[in-house]
Structure 1
Amino acid sequence: MILRGVRDGNSYVVTSHGRPVARIIPADREEEATSGARAVLLARLARQDIVQIGRWTRDELYDER
């Protein structure tokens, strides 16, 4: 039933405990959703402060705990 609705052009929001976590959209609208998500991500990154953490060693990058 949901897939039939998507095929007909509808989109659906998937929630977890009342909070939206995903959107099911028709495949031909995927680019539209991706570009919107990209814009939101870039805007969020632009607002964040730059954190200087220094250089990592190879051992720190591949630390397996």
Structure 2
Amino acid sequence: MNLTLGVKVLIVVICALVSVIVGIAAMWLSHAPGTPVRPAILYGGGSFGGCMLLCLAVLQALKVL
């Protein structure tokens, strides 16, 4: 695909926003009341990184980026 740079940047920003939502949901689901928040934040960060990596890998395989 021959996409302009602006469209590619927009696609990457959308992937980042989806990854943030996934990370927040994972953090929220992994946190138990009465426990420290730090492990939940690390879990959410790992989920964000994994989701972002997966999104970019799929876009690269589809030759969008």
Same fold at TM > 0.5: no
TM-score, normalised to structure 2, is 0.34
Q: Could you say which structure has the larger radius of gyration? A: 1
Higher RCO (C-alpha under 8 Å, 6+ residues apart): 2
Task: Say which structure is richer in helix.
Answer: 2
Task: Say which structure is richer in strand.
Answer: 1
TM-score, normalised to structure 1, is 0.34
